[in-house]
Chain A
Amino acid sequence: MKILVPLKRVADPDNANKIKIPAGGATIDTTGLEWKPNPFDEYALEAALRLTENGATPKARGGEVIVVTFGPKETETTLRAALATGADRAIRVDAKDEELDGSIVAKALRAIVDKEKPDAVVMGKQAVDGDSNQIGQMLAQHLGWPQATFAATIEEEDGALLVGREVDGGVITLRVKLPALVTVDLRIVAPSSVYSKQTKRDFKYNDGVRFAALPAIMAAKKKPLAELKLSELVSDTSLKVQYSRFEAPPARKAGIKVKDVAELVTRLKNEAKVL
């Protein structure tokens, strides 16, 4: 299977409470926060790698995983890391963050899919900076492909994927015929979440994403990385959504520590009046 995995770098999500919003609110300032791959994109890459291998040791890979990102030259670090983890080749679309919105990225990805003709696009359900949860669904529409969003499990069948989607109230199972688009949720990296046709159904992965070994990091430097221009991919580059200002959320004050259950219940009843 040939799979395209879009990746985005984000300001360290575990320190998202350290972002600053300068007076006037013109921007969000993430200075001082390290760039990290968007966690959901790392999970998508892990899922794509699992779909293109046999699981067992020795590992046999089949198919191809192509990673793509949008951004300035430095974002190649994110791509090299993905190549070290196991992706086969990478594409960087040269662009500045300010030039992009969900609609533009979805259209640019469509142009890349038209050219690369993968069997599937596997991507994160949301980037944890903008928290929009939109590009997969938009891309699927542009391609005229079926979509299976918020996937917690993927099983490869002949020419199709059986996908378990985490939704309100339970899990919906969809069968999507290839080519198809999948966006992944957190639990896609659990030990028994993803099976390629070659992987035995009793095989269990380590929980979480795999890490690159040192030789792989060296080898990744030689893997192909192509550069494209945004204007080669989309003709209309006007933003549909414009942000005029940002603000910090109101701070929530820490309350008090109570000494025991009796005090807690008395306060909930008489002070907070919620019992």
Chain B
Amino acid sequence: MSDTLIVAELADGKIKKTTHSAITFARQAGQPFSILVIGAGAKAAAAELTGFGAKAVLVADDASLASYVAERFAPTVVEVARSGGFGVVVATASSFGKDLMPRVAAALDAGYAGDISAVSADGGKLSYKRPMFAGNAYGHCTISTATQIVSVRQSEFTAAEPSGGASDVKDVAVAPAGPGADRVEFVKFDQVKSARPALGEAKVIVAGGRALKERFNEVLEPLADALGAGVGASRAACDAGYAPSDYQVGQTGKIVAPALYFAIGISGAIQHLAGMKGSKVIVAVNKDGDAPIFQVADYGLVADLFGVVPELTSAVIAAKG
């Protein structure tokens, strides 16, 4: 089998943590791997990835890649994959990887397995496990094309730790912009700034639902502060504008698997469960004792959240202190 190519993700000149999940995939796939760092500032960031056992860290750094658009990034990924004869090209299924990798697959006329949760090597052939139907089934699939394109679910591939050594850093050519690139203009990125851990990396998550109403932050922030937690939300809370869309946990939002997940005033719809069922310990607070969330919760508290969340916050502070 041929080598694996990892597409790293950059943000503000730094390697995003999501990249480390793709490295874990590459180690599990068992073939030698290289890492492609692409974007303006890639060269400086590449040093962050030289200690993970990659054959090489490939750098495509160019002012034309200052802001991510698939039409400009895909051609270089395609060119590096093709000229290097890579057998598997992988990124993490963040919004970056989900946008980019299917486009790369189409350009290479290659098969794509998106958002996979596990990989295994059966008789020299890689087999991928994918959650489907909102996590109510797993499909096992293989790809028959010479190059295989994959994106991995961050919550299922624990971030890789450095393994020592010093990979070579090599420049690669930035391919000419792809078709359509002259018709797309990056206007702006309105970033939700937060001092809290990103949902994909948080060890504890406090998530709120429609029940929080306009008091979403007022009620949940102190608890999240006490726990050092990330904050998530149901779709209903995001749609209503109580929480930013970026907080949405679920089948079509963020998939998370922290050590501890609090579902506060969340009913536990199938689409929400799909995003948090993998959490180690789930706590649910809901005034309806029959809410479906209790079917997956390790600890359920049937109560009015507005009364118990402040009490819980104080108790957590006391317990931790």
Contact = CB atoms under 8 A, between A and B. Distances in A.
Contact of A258 (B102, B188, B301): B301
Question: What is the interface of chain A mostly: helix, strand, loop, or mixed?
Answer: mixed
A102 B107 CA distance: 14
B71 interface: yes
A156 B109 CA distance: 32
A242 B134 contact: no
Contact of B246 (A168, A173, A268, A272): A168
B95 A168 contact: yes
Interface string B12-44: 000000000000000000000000000000000
Contacts of B74: 141
Given A134-B114, A261-B315, A146 B235 contact: no
Contacts, number: 286
B302 A246 contact: no
A260 interface: yes
A23 interface: no
Contact of B112 (A13, A150, A241, A269): A241
Contacts of A152: 245
A264 B301 contact: yes
A16 B114 contact: no
B123 to A, nearest CB: 12
A97 B239 CA distance: 33
A194 B71 CA distance: 24
Interface in B104-120: 105-107, 109-115
Contact of A265 (B70, B295, B315): B315
A108 to B, nearest CB: 13
B140 A141 contact: no
A15 B252 CA distance: 16
Interface of B: 11, 69-71, 74, 94-96, 98-103, 105-107, 109-115, 127, 130-145, 178-181, 183-192, 198, 200, 204, 235, 238-239, 244-246, 251-252, 254, 259-260, 269-271, 277, 280-283, 289, 294-303, 308, 311-312, 315-316, 318-320
Given A13-B133, A128-B252, A254-B300, 11 more contacts: A19-B136, A134-B102, A139-B106, A140-B180, A175-B187, A244-B141, A255-B300, A257-B294, A265-B316, A268-B260, A275-B320
Interface of A: 11, 13-17, 19, 21, 28, 40, 101-103, 106, 125-126, 128-150, 152, 162, 165-177, 180, 185-187, 190, 238-249, 252, 254-258, 260-262, 264-265, 267-269, 272, 274-275
